[in-house]
Structures are given as structure tokens and as C-alpha cells.
């Protein structure tokens, strides 16, 4: 199945039905009064979060959605039928954005949550509504109002408690396989992971958390290089980040240099996301001699000037992973307790979450704009003169849409 996490669609609510002009006509009643009924309201369009969906692929090829129009009014004061509402189902974690204004209309974070995105037009009035003591036979009606229309951008972010960061082949997919039942593809070449993978980690019988693995980052990712930059947004709703570093890279690269690349690209993408609680996880300790562990750890920690928690593990051998998952579970429980007891802490986290969302959206929009310019033959927005803004040269305003296919 294709993994699609961004789509653009157009939604149009139903128009209201027109009012009817009609007069009572019966035997022995020569001058019957008006009896034209009102039209029906147009149908509205709603978005609903569905826990059974995990991709927006249903909206990849069908992008225009129209709700039903309200029926016209009838004689004998019959009101027209209301247009049927249209409910579009999207995955939990979908953000709905107005493409024209970039306004966030809503965020569907709970299963069953429902949001109206366009409202149906109001019904027109029949001539019965206009009768009065001075106007016994009104011939006035009103048409139904047109329904709202909007161009929307749907952004899906996976909902996970913990997110994994690291270069390609740092062992992120191996780690998620070792601690959960998820089975992402694992291979000895870079960019094995092309789409985010989720795994549920069970610590005790009634305790578990969700962990997310995204495609690896590379140097220059904040400028659009590689795959991982478009998926960093999926980490914006996590509670904790795990920075995985390969302690024993097979090539001639340096582990401290690799760790620095991730920190640098994360900060460039979103300084606020870099403020999220982050733990350093040094993987593949089984690939080096045990007496070299301490020296290698010190080298990485000193280079990063790291003061947070540090874990040394081997994901493939499941060495140190149980202690790490139990500490994560304890951290998440303590965090939840503090959120419930400390309103100030809750407000601070809400403010941080909002900054992360805003920065991630702005960064991805800037990358899309830059790619659109490159397709039109312009290297940078600074290269455009006043005479270069031609409507015929404007590229797709929604930017490029990248679809990754799961093997």
C-alpha cells in the first residue's frame, strides 16, 4: 500500500434549494393564497478521524468532493429535502489547513473526532413567506444560497510517544524490531526505510507505548536532501526523542561527526523540536571491543557536550534494550503525572508543541516553494526580478507531492 501523508483536495458544500412560487388551486376556491414552500438546506462536508486508516492514499486520485444540493421547495407548502451531508474519513493525527490562507482549520487527534470544513448553503424562501395584509398574492421568492467552497491541504502526522532520530543505517529499524512486534525492512544499505514505521512496545502486561521510526537524515537534509526531512514533521507530536548513533560505522566516517550532523539538521529544521527531551542511544556496541566502549562513549559525549541520559545498546543482540524501554515507560508515566498536577508545565508544553508545529509547517512550505522555483528554472527566489512574475510561469501552488511506495 502506498504511504501518502500530504494531499490537496477541493471541497464544495451543497447549494441551498430555491423557494417555490405556488398558489392554492382547488375547486370552488377561485383565489387561493400562496402555498409555495421553502427549499432545503445544502449538505455540509465533515472530516472524521478513523482509527482504521493510516494513509491519505484515498485522496491521492480523487480530489474533488461535492455535497448534495438541497431540493427546491414545492407547492402546498412542501419544504424541499435537505442535502445529504458528506463525511470524509481521514487517519487519526490529520491536520486540515486552508490552502488559500494557510489557516489551520482543525486537528483530528482522537478517533471519531468530527469537524465541519464547509457549510451547506441556506435554503431559499417560498412565496408563502412574503404574504401580508397588503400583499395577498406575493410573487416573490428567494434562491438558495451557494454552499461554501474551499481548497484544503491535509497533513497526516503519525501519533507516537517516542520518535527515533539517526543517520541511515544507524540501526533504527533494527531497534524497533527488537523491542516491538513491528517488522520494518532491515538491510545493509542506506535508506532501507522509506516511510515511517510504528511499533507498540509492551513493558508490562498493562503498560505500553508507541515508537516511531522515520527515514534516516543526512547532511543537508534541512535544505531538502534525502528523504527524512519530509518525515521530521511526524516527530512533532512525540513526547521523547531517541537519538541513535552507530558506534561502529562500517565506512570511514566518525561516530561523533555523525552525531553532530543529526543535531545540526534537527536544529535547522526546527529549533523548538530540538528543545524536546532527547536521549542519546549509542547502538551496535557488540561491534567493538568491550574495553573500547568507555572511550567511544566519552568521545561522542564530549563532542556533543551532552548532559542528558546516555544508553549503550546492541539492538540486534537485544543488549541494554530492556533497561532502555523500562526507563522510557517510567519517563512517560512521570511526565503524564506532572502534566496532570502542574498547570504551568502543561501550558509550557502546549506552547512548545505549537511552536514546533508552526516551524515544521513553515520549513516544509519553504522547501516546496524552492522546489517549485527550481522546476521553473529559477535557482532561488532572490534571482527573480520584478518582470519575472508571470502568471503563466507560476508553478503548482501546492508544491511537489512525493509518494513513497512500501516494498
Each residue's pLDDT tens digit, 79-101: 999 999 999 999 888 999 998 98
Give the residue ranges of DSSP H helices in 342-377.
343-375
Q: pLDDT at residue 227 above 70?
A: no
| Spatial separation of the C-alpha atoms in residues 376 and 398, rounded to whole Å | 14
Name the phi and psi angles at 245, rounded to 5.
-125, 130
Confidence band, pLDDT 50/70/90 cuts, at residue 401: very low
Q: Is residue 23 included in any domain, yes or no?
A: yes
Extract the annotated binding site: 166-173, 191-195, 213-216, 283-286, 314-316
Is the predicted pLDDT of residue 12 greater than 90, yes or no? yes
Cell representation of residue 333: 508515566
Mean pLDDT of the 326-353 span:
92
Please tell me whether residues 119 and 198 are part of one structural domain: no
Residues 199 and 100 in one domain: no
93 belongs to a structural domain: yes
- When computed from its CA atoms, the radius of gyration of the chain, rounded to whole angstroms, is 29
Structural domain of 280: 162-346
C-alpha cell at 186: 532491515
HSE of 110, CA atoms in CB hemisphere, 13 A: 4
Band the pLDDT of 176: cuts 50, 70, 90.
Answer: confident
Q: Are residues 312 and 327 in the same domain?
A: yes
Does residue 312 form part of some domain? yes
Looking at 166-239, which runs of residues are DSSP E strands? 197-204, 207-213
CATH code assigned at 2: 2.70.210.12
- Do 46 and 180 belong to one domain? no
Q: Is residue 355 part of a domain?
A: no
Domain final residue pick, 96, 129, 156? 156
Nearest to residue 65, comparing CAs of 40, 86, 42, 95?
86
Residues 176 and 150 placed together within one structural domain of the fold: no
Q: Which of these three, 291, 324, 346, is where a domain ends?
A: 346
Average per-residue pLDDT for the chain = 82
Do the domain assignments include residue 99?
yes
Annotated binding site for Mg(2+): 173, 193
Query: Quick one: 297 and 207 in the same domain?
Result: yes
76 plus 133 within the same structural domain? yes
In a domain, 82, yes or no: yes
Of the candidates 118, 139, 156, which is a domain's last residue?
A: 156
**330 and 189 assigned to the same domain:** yes
**Helices (DSSP H) in 147-254: which residue ranges?**
172-179
Confidence class for position 229, pLDDT limits 50, 70, 90: low
**322 in a domain, yes or no?**
yes
- Look up the CATH number of the domain holding residue 259: 3.40.50.300
* Tens of pLDDT, residues 48-91: 999 888 888 888 888 999 999 999 999 999 999 999 999 999 98
Q: Tell me the percentage of the chain whose pLDDT exceeds 70.
A: 83
Distance CA 319, CA 286 (A): 8
Q: How many domains does the chain have?
A: 2
What's this model's pTM, rounded to 2 decimal places? 0.71
Higher confidence at residue 224 or residue 364?
Answer: 364
CB 236 within 8 A of CB 364: no
Amino acid at each position: 500500500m502506498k504511504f501518502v501523508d500530504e494531499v490537496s483536495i477541493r471541497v464544495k458544500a451543497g447549494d441551498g434549494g430555491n423557494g417555490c412560487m405556488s398558489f392554492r388551486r382547488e375547486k370552488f376556491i377561485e383565489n387561493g393564497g400562496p402555498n409555495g414552500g421553502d427549499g432545503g438546506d445544502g449538505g455540509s462536508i465533515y472530516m472524521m478521524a478513523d482509527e482504521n486508516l493510516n494513509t491519505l492514499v484515498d485522496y491521492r486520485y480523487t480530489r474533488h468532493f461535492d455535497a448534495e444540493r438541497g431540493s427546491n421547495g414545492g407547492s402546498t407548502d412542501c419544504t424541499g429535502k435537505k442535502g445529504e451531508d458528506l463525511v470524509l474519513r481521514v487517519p487519526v493525527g490529520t491536520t486540515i489547513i486552508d490552502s488559500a490562507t494557510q489557516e489551520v482549520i482543525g486537528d483530528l487527534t482522537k478517533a471519531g473526532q468530527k469537524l465541519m470544513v464547509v457549510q451547506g448553503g441556506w435554503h431559499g424562501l417560498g412565496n408563502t413567506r412574503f404574504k401580508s395584509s397588503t400583499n395577498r398574492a406575493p410573487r416573490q421568492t428567494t434562491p438558495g444560497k451557494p454552499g461554501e467552497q474551499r481548497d484544503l491541504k491535509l497533513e497526516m502526522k503519525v501519533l507516537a510517544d517516542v520518535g527515533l532520530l539517526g543517520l541511515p543505517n544507524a540501526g533504527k529499524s533494527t531497534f524497533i524490531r527488537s523491542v516491538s512486534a513491528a517488522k520494518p525492512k532491515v538491510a545493509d544499505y542506506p535508506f532501507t526505510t522509506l516511510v515511517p514505521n510504528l511499533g507498540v512496545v509492551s513493558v508490562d502486561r498493562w503498560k505500553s507505548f508507541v515508537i516511531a521510526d522515520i527515514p534516516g537524515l543526512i547532511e543537508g537534509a534541512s535544505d531538502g536532501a534525502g528523504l527524512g526531512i519530509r518525515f521530521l514533521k511526524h516527530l512533532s507530536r512525540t513526547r521523547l526523542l531517541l537519538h541513535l548513533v552507530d558506534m561502529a560505522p562500517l565506512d570511514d566516517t566518525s561516530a561523533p561527526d555523525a552525531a553532530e550532523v543529526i543535531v545540526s539538521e534537527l536544529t535547522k529544521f526546527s529549533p523548538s523540536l530540538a528543545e524536546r527531551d532527547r536521549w542519546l542511544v549509542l547502538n551496535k556496541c557488540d561491534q567493538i571491543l568491550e574495553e573500547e566502549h568507555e572511550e567511544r562513549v566519552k568521545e561522542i559525549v564530549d563532542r556533543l557536550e551532552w548532559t542528558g541520559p546516555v544508553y549503550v545498546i546492541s539492538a540486534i543482540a537485544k543488549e541494554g534494550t530492556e533497561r532502555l524501554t523500562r526507563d522510557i515507560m517510567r519517563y512517560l508515566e512521570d511526565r503524564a503525572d506532572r502534566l496532570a498536577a502542574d498547570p504551568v508545565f502543561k501550558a509550557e508544553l502546549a506552547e512548545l508543541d505549537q511552536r514546533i508545529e508552526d516551524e515544521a509547517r513553515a520549513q516544509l512550505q519553504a522547501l516546496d516553494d524552492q522546489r517549485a522555483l527550481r522546476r521553473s528554472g529559477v535557482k532561488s527566489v532572490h534571482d527573480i526580478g520584478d518582470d519575472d512574475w508571470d502568471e503563466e510561469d507560476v508553478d503548482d501552488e501546492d508544491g511537489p507531492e512525493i509518494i513513497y511506495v512500501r516494498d
